[in-house]
Amino acid sequence: MQQDLPSLLRSLLQNPLHPLFYSSILRVLTRTPNSLRHGRQLHALLLLHGFHNNPTLAARMAAMYCSSGDLRSASLLLHHHPSPSPLLFNSLIRGHSLRNLHTQVLSLFHAMLACSLLPDHFTFPFVLKACANLLSLFTGCAVHSLCLRTGLELDVYVGSSLINMYSKCGEVRFAHRLFDVMLFKDIASWNALIAGYMMVGAVKVAEHLFDDMPKRNVISWTAMISGYTQNGVADRALQMFEEMKKDCEEVKPNWVTIVSVLPACAHSAALDQGKKIHEYARTLGLDSHPTVLIAIMGMYAKCGSLVEARRCFHCLSKRDKSVVAWNTLIAAYASHGLGPEAVSAFDDMVRSGVQADSVSFTALLSGCSHSGLVDQGMKYFDTMSMVYSVEAKFEHFACIVDLLSRAGKLNKALEIANKMKIDSGPSIWGALLSASRTHRNLEVAKIAAKRLFVLEPSNSGNYILLSNMYAEAGKWDEVKKLRAVLREKGMKKSPGCSWSEINGQAHAFLTGDKCHPQASEIYKFLQDLPAKMKAAGYRPETSFVLHDVNEEEKECNLATHSEKLAIAFGILNTSPGETLRITKNLRICGDCHSAAKFISKIHHREIIIRDINRFHHFKDGICSCGDYW
C-alpha cells in the first residue's frame, strides 16, 4: 500500500472522502515502518479539508506520530486541538508509555483530568505502569481511587495493572488482596504477584503461586528464574531454567529469560553451565541480541574467563557497543586486577564517542584501586565533573578512599572520609578498616571500627576484623572484650566457604570441613603438601591464625582453610595442567594467597580464585595481583 500512497494522496487532494476512510489509512501507516513522510502528507491533507479536529482522526494521527518516534508532532496535536477527546489522550499516553517516558505519561494524565475528561480501561493500565516504574506509590493510590470511582477496579487489565503497581512499590500484601477479589485472573495478574513476592524475598509464597497457576507463559517462568537469582538462590534458578527447557515445549525461553538466568551462573561461578546457556542461546538465535551478548560477557568475566568476555565484546557491532557494554568490559578488567587495561578501555570508550556515566567511573576507579594506580585514579576523580559531566557520588568517594587506603595513604583516606559532604557509609569505613589491617595501623583501625559499630551494629565482620588486629598485636585482653561483645549480641562469624565446579557440579567446602565424600583423600593430599611447598621456599604466615596457640597448631589450622580444601579437591579431580576455578565468600587470607602461588608452581596449574573483592590468577608461582590486594 505504501507504494500506492502518493497517487492516492494526490487523488484525495481533489476528491475528499469520508473521515472513516482516512482513519483506515492512518491505521495502516501506524503499523508500517518508515511511513512518517506519508503520514505528514496525510496530516496536511486533513488540515486542508478541515478534518484535523475530528476526534477519531486526531487520535489516529497521534498514534501514527508516536509509532514513528515523532513525539513532538504528536504532542502538538494536543496543544492545538480546541477540545481534545479521551481518544487523543489515550493515544498520546500509550505512545509515551511504549517509549518508557513515564513522567510524561503522568503529565498527560494530569492534563486529561484538568480537561474534565474521564479515564477509561485503556487509560489506566498505562498510567499505572508509569506509577509502577517510577515507584510512585502515592500517585498510584490516587489513580486506584479513580479506578474505584469509575467502576473499573475489577476490569482484568486494570486489575492486573494495579497488582503490578502495588507489587513493584513493595505493597505486595495489598496486591494479593486485590488478586483475591478479582473475578477473572489472567496470566499477567499471576505474573505480577509472583514478581512482587520475589522482590520482597518471599520466595516460598512465589513458589506456591507458581505451582497453583492454571497456565504459565514465558513471563511466568522468567519471573521465577529472575526472582531466584535476585534472592541468591542461584542453584534453583539454574534448575528452573532446565525445567523450563525440558517440561515446556510450548514455552521457549526468550532473550529476557537468558539475561535473567546468566547472573545465577555468575553468582555460583558455574562456568560450565554458563557455557551451555551461551550455546543454547546461540541455537535459538538469541546471542545476536546485544543485551544478551552483554549479559553473556558479564557472566564470563564473573566466572573468571576474561578471554571469552573480551571475545563477546568484540562480537558487538560498533552501534551496539553502548555505555553498558563498555562498563561491563571496564568492570571485568577491574575485577581481575588489570587496572591499566581498565584505564585503556575507558579511554577507548571516550574516543569512540560513547558518553561515560556514573557506573563507568565506579568501574574505572575500582580498577585503579586494585592495581595501585593512585595518580591516575585521582586524576580521573578530579576531572569527573568538569571534563566528563558526571557528578561524584557516594560510590566514587568509596573507591577513592579504597584507592588511597590500599596504597597505604591511610591518613589521607581518613581525611577524605571525614570531610565528605555526602554521608560516609559502611563501604568507606570498611575499606579503611580492611586496609588498616593490611598496613598494620591499629589506630586508624580503631577509628574506622568505631564508626562501623554505629553504622552496622549487627555486622559481626567488623568486630572480628578489629579482634584479628588485636590478636596479631598480641593484645589478647582486647580480643576477649570484643568476643564478649559478640556473645552478648548473639553474633557469629560468617564461616569461610569455598567452592569449585567440577563436571558441572558445584562442590563446597567450609574451613576444617570433613563432610565431603573425598575428605580422606583431600586431607592426605594436604598433609603431604607443606613439605613440598617449604622445599620451594614457602613459609606459613601464622599471623593469620588468630588464636593464642603455639606455632605448630597454627600451621595445622592454616592447612584446612576452605580455599586449600577446594584447591586440593580440584587437583585430585581434574586432568594434569587443567585450570582450577575456585570461589570464596570472604577475602582470601594471606597464607592461602601465598600457598596458592606455590601450589600453582609445584603442580603446574593455573589457579583462579574469586574472593569477595576480586579475582586472583595464580600461575608459575606468581599472582596476577602482584601481591597488591
* Three-class DSSP category at 618: strand
Quote the pLDDT of residue 626: 82
Quote the pLDDT of residue 139: 97
Q: Please tell me the distance from the alpha carbon of residue 178 to that of residue 475, in angstroms, as a whole number.
A: 60
Give the residue extent of every domain in the chain: 231-320, 393-493, 497-623
CATH of domain 393-493: 1.25.40.10
* 89 CB-near residues (< 8 Å, 6+ apart): 78, 108, 109, 111, 112, 115, 117, 123
| pLDDT per position as a tens digit, 335-374 | 999 999 999 999 999 999 999 999 999 999 999 999 999 9
Q: Please tell me the distance from the alpha carbon of residue 225 to that of residue 254, in angstroms, as a whole number.
A: 12
What band does 276 get if pLDDT is binned at 50, 70 and 90? Answer: very high
What band does 247 get if pLDDT is binned at 50, 70 and 90? Answer: confident
- What percentage of the chain has pLDDT greater than the value 90? 66
User: The pTM is what?
Assistant: 0.83
Half-sphere exposure for 113 (CA within 13 Å, toward CB): 11
Average pLDDT over the chain reads: 90
| Residue 230 in this model has a pLDDT that exceeds 50 | yes
What band does 17 get if pLDDT is binned at 50, 70 and 90? Answer: low
Cell 486489575: give the residue: 159
| pLDDT per position as a tens digit, 292-326 | 999 999 999 999 999 999 999 999 999 999 999 99
**C-alpha angle with apex 176: 174 to 182, nearest 5 degrees?**
110
Amino acid code (one letter) for 322: S
* Burial class of residue 446, CB neighbours in 10 A (0-12, 13-18, 19+): middle
What band does 1 get if pLDDT is binned at 50, 70 and 90? Answer: very low
* Three-class DSSP category at 534: helix
